[in-house]
Amino acid sequence: MIDIPFGRTISYGKLAAQMGDVKKIRAVANAVSKNPIPIVIPCHRVVGMHGNLTGYIGGLPNKKFLIELESNRQLGLF
């Protein structure tokens, strides 16, 4: 998860495939759900198959906020 670029998302299935076994989607989802430091290890960037938002330790409204914040590069902050 740490390698998912800022402003990008990846599905559980694609993340499992990158790890070598597309059948391990449940294992990936379990690891994401147990992330002890969700901002440092950006588990909010992992989404469902069609980009749908799924569980997040900080709550779905916060997951949506973080994804939108990261994808909006026109904030003029930097």
Catalytic residues: 43
DSSP E strands in 1-78: the ranges are 10-11, 46-47
Asked if 50 and 9 count as a contact pair (C-beta separation under 8 A), the reply is: no
Nearest CA to 67 out of 18, 78, 33, 54 is that of: 54
Asked if 12 and 49 count as a contact pair (C-beta separation under 8 A), the reply is: yes
